[in-house]
Amino acid sequence: MRRPLFLGPSKSKMWYVPEKKEPNLEEDEFMEGRFENYRAAMRGIRHFLRKEFNEREVITFDKQEEQDAQDLIWMADEVNKWNAEIANKRMQRQLAEQKKEEDRIQSLMEKQTEERLQKAMEAEQLLMKEKEASVNFITTENLDMEIEKMLDSRSDYNFAVTLEGEVLAGENPHLEPKWQPTPNPKRERAS
């Protein structure tokens, strides 16, 4: 870290005077010759550039405008070419995307058609099952007969079930109980 300038020299260096180095005459002579060569080369370059700038033809304002107009025309042509290329690429990309979207919609429609057909077949099968089960349905034609059958049949709801699943008859043992036990596999294995 450097010692700040406002502190001045340190006490150990207060009266120190560095020894003066002896000049190297050979090196100074060599460097002076090199520096003279550099200055001569720079003078030659400056002289050459002045001569060139003086001989150069000065472009008039009209020539400059004409050159600018040609540059603008060239730039406009380049921009139009680039725009045409980009428009062509965009059109190809949009056509590809449109075809891909149409294919996706077509496959989706086919899938939906298959699903509808499947659902229609399932509904038809369900309807066939319902028609088969409709033999047991109560209709207006067989309503009186079903009412008579229900009035004639009696059920006993007053019964008990043992832990083993045995049904004990209630008040009317000759009537069939409304509930029938199902075999319990856990109870059978425990026996």
Question: What predicted TM-score, i.e. pTM, was given to this entire model?
Answer: 0.34
Contact 169, 159 (CB under 8 A): yes
Q: Is 159 exposed, middle or buried (0-12, 13-18, 19+ CB in 10 A)?
A: middle
In the chain, the number of structural domains is: 1
- Percent pLDDT > 90 in the chain is 44
Residue 110 in any domain: the answer is yes
Domain annotation covers residue 93: yes
**Residue 121 is assigned to a structural domain of this protein:** yes
Tell whether 89 is covered by a domain. Answer: yes
pLDDT, the chain, mean: 85
Could you tell me if residue 176 is inside a domain? no
* 181 neighbors 162 (Cβ within 8 angstroms): no
Q: Is the pLDDT of residue 8 over 90?
A: no
Compute the chain's Rg from CA coordinates: 57
The pLDDT score that the predictor gives to residue 71 is 94
Q: Please report whether residue 46 resides in a domain.
A: no
Q: Cite the DSSP H helix spans in the chain.
A: 25-55, 61-133, 143-152, 185-190
Digit-coded pLDDT (tens) for 41-55: 999 999 999 888 777
Within a domain: 90:
yes
Q: Which domain holds residue 101?
A: 60-133
> In the block, which residue shows the tokens 């077949």?
121
- Max distance between CA atoms of the chain, in angstroms, equals 147
The answer on pLDDT for 107 being more than 80 is: yes
- How many angstroms separate the CA atoms of 189 and 28, rounded? 120
- Residue 91 is assigned to a structural domain of this protein: yes
pLDDT in tens, 54-95: 776 666 667 778 889 999 999 999 999 999 999 999 999 999
Who's near 177: CB < 8 A, 6+ residues apart? Answer: 155, 156, 157, 159, 167, 169, 170
